[in-house]
Chains A and B, each alone.
Chain A
Amino acid sequence: MLGYALSRATAAIPTLFLLVTLAFFLIRLAPGGPFDNERQLSPAIEANLQQRYHLDEPLLQQYGRYLWGIARGDFGPSFQYPDLTVTQLIAAGFPVSFTLGGCAMTLALIVGVLLGAIAAINQNGIVDYGVMTVAMLGISMPSFVLAPLLILWLAVYLGWLPAGGLESWRHFVLPVITLAAAQIAFIARLTRGSLIEVLSAQFIRTARAKGLPMHVIFLRHAAPAALAPVVSYLGPATAGIITGSVVIETIFGIPGLGRHFVNGALNRDYTLVLGVVLFYGLLVIVLNLVVDLLYAWLDPRVKY
């Protein structure tokens, strides 16, 4: 397994290289530049800025300079935030996004699996239909609708929780619930479908025939097999939840990475966008690798 992990890690290098290369040249194709603003700069000032950020060099030279920089762990200065470097921005934003995404995914996993299991055990009963209806609602309701509704009820009307910002654990509750809602629905449906299939499998029938109690059959034999699809879903879902929480970050005023990504692109902050793309790329690769390793651990038929 260690060999597999190492080979995957090695294969990630060309992937990341390709990602950086594509991102570097694609963002330069976007019209407008970082210094286009309502206030036009004098040619001397603009020339100075171009020089400071090496934008006066040929594009290939800039590309080489950038690669050399990231090889040394230097993502360069931000154009949008001239007082800060991209590394500082990522270092400040990632823990926030990771905490938010991590908590949301944990909540989604626990609640989703539980609901899915309840639905599967009561297949085609009232409970099943009830759970699945709620799950469908969770999938259907976009976060930009759910978030303001939750804020209105729980923060504005009832005053139980803060409406935005990130200054204590209480500030996490609403964004985590909002982010988790859609994931709970997905995981519940996945678990239900998978569990129903597994419960009708031959090895479960054998276990029953041997006279094993239902809870043992369920926990020891059915659950691990049924959760394999859920685990494989977790990798991309977690990456997605960490990287794609820009709507939540904007609505709740959370200083995560997602807003830097979007605002960086809108402001033509080349270095910030590239830094975040590279970082996200790395995150997706790592999370997928973790999930693949977990999958092999869970399912004895999978060998690397």
Chain B
Amino acid sequence: MRRFAIALATVATLFLNGCDPEWQTVNQPEITVAGETVLRKGNGAEPQTLDPHRAQGVPEANILRDLYEGLISENPDGTLAPGAATRWEISADGRIYTFYLRKYARWSNGAPLTAEDFVYSLRRGVDPATGSSYAAILSPILHAAAIIEGEVKPESLGVQAIDSHELKITLKSPTRYFLGLLTHTTTYPVYRPSVERFGAAFTQPGNNVSNGAYTLDEWVVASHVTLRRNPRYWDDASTRIDIVKFYGIDDQEAELRRYRAGELDLTSTVPLGQLEWVREHLRDEYRAAPYLGTYYYGLNLTRSPFKNNRALRKALSLAIDRGILVEKVTRGGELAAYGWVPPGIANYSGQALAYAEWSRSRQIKLARRLYRMAGYSRARPLRLEIRYNTSDAHETIAVVIASQWREVLGVHTTLVNEEWKVFLQNVQRRRVTQVYRAAWIGDYNDAYTFAELLHSRFGLNGTGYANPRYDRLLSQAAGEGDQQQRRTLLQQAERVLLADHALIPLYFYVNKRLLKPYIKGYRDNVMDHHYTKNLRIEVPTRTGARRD
């Protein structure tokens, strides 16, 4: 018996050691101090880095927008606002931008924020040694493209500090969306002494120095990131929320449950399967707003059956009833897409396929005729594979489209579910892929961010679309200073793309989320950028105590 008791005690001690609450003091986030207001955001996936020049996902950008401030910032409605720069001048030829920085802007450690910081940071962004996935977004700046390709040194970038508070940026050619581009995280400044001292670890709490409305307080990987208001921020007096916590919750259902349990103040999304329930029970807290994104099916144009077969591509596009897709499948208020550039984009109005307004029977009739013209029939059906990365939503959409193709044309479709990395590799190699699901989210509020995806030399052009006329229109638009003319060129390009049926647009995204009624200052915007400094909480019980 004694042996048994000792053995049991040993086992119990071994396990209970793990229950020792001591480690929790290491991992436990800051408990709200009396008088401080806390905002708890569901932030989708876990951020992979907090280096603004290496970040590539939406979750990272959400956090970085609070931590850092670029030359240009945004108002709650998404319009541009002065950021680190109070004002700017654009030369008559549209190529030289001169920014005047705030005299009293400071880093979170009290050091002055200077034009040199921006020179260093923009060079770092394009330097191949940094390994930035978004470096190409800085291509409008003089010599940026050559630096990214490793042909010239980062020091040759067209960025110059005239004095400590005056920054000159020279562009390759006039770029209408350049100011909007400067809200992107890749253009944010980083604190050079910190980067040089800590290397990749400069993003860690304790090492990190930032210039935004918040500073990094804690990062518990796979759990949450905590930011605390930056008292040295130039507009700290207007900041209302003291602490903001970003919870990385991959599982959308789990995020919804935590929101319902009162542990989150806003969510990153709403799971597809719960939309009906949410609309019924949380109607006042549900927000759906247009978002700069297009969900589409890419077609591999470099191989049979789509190579040189426009009739077939058009037939497949015509056979899809996008109305059913958005009303019965996605159901979040998405818009059926008959064009490539989503609505709501600045200085642009999207183009649409000619048959967008046709009756369904007329669309089907033409689809069948084109299908026959392409050499297929019920007796000799087309056999296709749709590839998509693992997701219930993608699968449901693929099932619906496959059934529509079968019903309208008699196409035999096989659904191929692939793990993300395998899927990406297959799309990029263009060997086995025929039809693939894809989506494109705008990086900045300009039609060019959508147009460039289909440029023959753009690395992510998975379809292999290469139309010299399209490329030429894009090049002309890129160098065009006149807004009206530029819009016309981009619209022409979109019409060319749609007429070629290089891809099948399916729907335009909406941004879906839940938001507690006590969050004020929140405004819907197409970029879905929501700076915490613009938000406030108006509920007396939320101040000074945590409510869980």
User: B379 at interface (Cβ–Cβ under 8 A)?
Assistant: no
Contact of B421 among A47, A100, A106, A266 (CB under 8 A): A266
Q: Which residues of A contact B460 (CB under 8 A)?
A: 38-40
- Do residues A83 and B428 form an inter-chain contact, with CB atoms below 8 A? no
Contact of A82 among B15, B29, B200, B223 (CB under 8 A): B200
Interface mask (B7-49 → A, CB under 8 Å = 1, otherwise 0): 1001110111111110110111101000000000000001011
Render B195-206 as a binary contact track against A, CB cut-off 8 A, 1 for contact.
000001101100
Complex CA gap A84/B237 in Å reads 34
- Using Cβ atoms and an 8 Å threshold, which residues of chain B touch A167? 28-29, 31
Across the two chains, which residue of chain B brings its CB closest to A219?
B1
B249 beta carbon closer than 8 Å to chain A: yes
Q: Cα distance A85–B248 when bound, in Å? A: 19
Residues of B within 8 A of A290 (CB): 14
Q: Is the CB of A109 within 8 A of B149?
A: no
Q: Mark B103-115, 1 if CB is under 8 A from A, else 0.
A: 0000000000000
Say whether B133 contacts A39, CB under 8 Å.
Answer: yes
CB closest residue in chain A, given B26: A95
Q: Quick check: B221 and A253 within 8 Å, CB to CB? A: no
Given A103-B15, A166-B223: A298 in contact with B3 (beta carbons within 8 A) = yes
SS class, residues of chain A in contact with chain B: helix
**B459: which A residues are within 8 A, CB to CB?**
39-42
B264 CB to nearest A CB, Å? 9
Contacts of A298 in B (CB 8 A): 3-4, 7
Residues of chain B within 8 A of A132, CB atoms compared: none
Determine the distance from Cα of A226 to Cα of B48 in the docked complex, in whole angstroms: 49
State the interface size on chain B (CB cutoff 8 A): 74
Which residues of A in the span 147-201 have a Cβ within 8 Å of any Cβ on B?
A: 148, 151-152, 155-156, 159, 162-169
Query: In the bound complex, do residue A83 and residue B18 qualify as a contact, i.e. CB atoms below 8 Å apart?
Result: no
Chain B residue, CB-CB nearest to A110? B12
The proximity string for A residues 244-283 relative to B, scoring 1 for CB distances below 8 Å and 0 otherwise, is 0000011111111001100100111000000000000000
Task: Give min CB distance, B21 to chain A, whole Å.
Answer: 6
Q: Which of B432-477 contact A (CB under 8 A)?
A: 459-460
Size bracket of the A interface:
35 or more
A95 to B548, CA, bound (A): 24
Contact A220 B1 (CB under 8 A): yes
- Give the CA-CA distance A105 to B222 in the complex, in Å: 23
Complex alpha-carbon distance, A238 and B3, angstroms: 21
User: Closest chain B residue to A78 by CB distance?
Assistant: B48
A220 to B1, CA, bound (A): 5
1/0 per position for B239-261, CB-CB distance to A under 8 A? 00000000111110110011011
Say yes or no: B7 contacts A231, CB within 8 Å: yes
Taking a contact as CB atoms under 8 Å apart, the answer to whether B221 and A255 are in contact is yes
Q: Once the chains bind, are B201 and A36 in contact (CB under 8 Å)?
A: no
- A98 beta carbon closer than 8 Å to chain B: yes
- Does B131 lie within 8 Å of A48, measured CB to CB? yes
Q: Which residues of B contact A83 (CB under 8 A)?
A: 49-51, 200-201, 203-204
Q: Which segment of A15-23, A25-33, A116-124 sits at the interface?
A: A25-33
* B396 close to A (CB within 8 Å): no
Known A93-B222, A99-B19, A250-B250; contact A294-B11, beta-carbon cutoff 8 A: yes
List the B side residues contacting A42 at CB < 8 Å.
128, 135-136, 148-150, 459
Interchain CB contact under 8 A, B421 and A165: no
A250 touches B148 (CB 8 A): no
Distance between Cα atoms of A234 and B422 in the complex (Å): 38
Q: Which of A109, A164, A268 contacts B254 (CB 8 A)?
A: A164
Whether the Cβ atoms of B27 and A166 lie closer than 8 Å is: yes
Minimal beta-carbon separation of B254 from chain A (angstroms): 5
Query: What residues of B have a CB within 8 angstroms of the CB of A95 in the complex?
Result: 18, 23, 26-27
Nearest CB in chain B: distance from A73 CB, A: 18
Q: How far is the CB of B460 from chain A (nearest CB, A)?
A: 5
Known A80-B48, A96-B27, A297-B6; 13 more pairs at CB < 8 Å? A32-B419, A42-B148, A45-B130, A83-B49, A84-B201, A92-B27, A103-B16, A163-B254, A169-B21, A169-B24, A227-B4, A251-B254, A297-B7
A-B contact pairs, 7 of them (CB 8 A): A80-B48, A109-B12, A164-B249, A227-B4, A253-B254, A263-B46, A267-B421
Chain B residues near A (Cβ < 8 Å):
1, 3-4, 6-7, 10-12, 14-21, 23-24, 26-29, 31, 46, 48-51, 54, 56, 128-136, 148-150, 200-201, 203-204, 220-224, 247-251, 253-254, 257-258, 260-263, 419-422, 424-425, 428, 459-460, 548
Q: A-B pairs with the 3 shortest C-beta distances? A: A102-B18, A32-B421, A44-B150
Interface residues of A (CB under 8 A from B): 30-33, 36-45, 47-49, 52, 77, 80-84, 89, 92-93, 95-96, 98-103, 105-106, 109, 148, 151-152, 155-156, 159, 162-169, 219-220, 223-224, 227, 231, 234, 238, 249-256, 259-260, 263, 266-268, 290, 294, 297-298
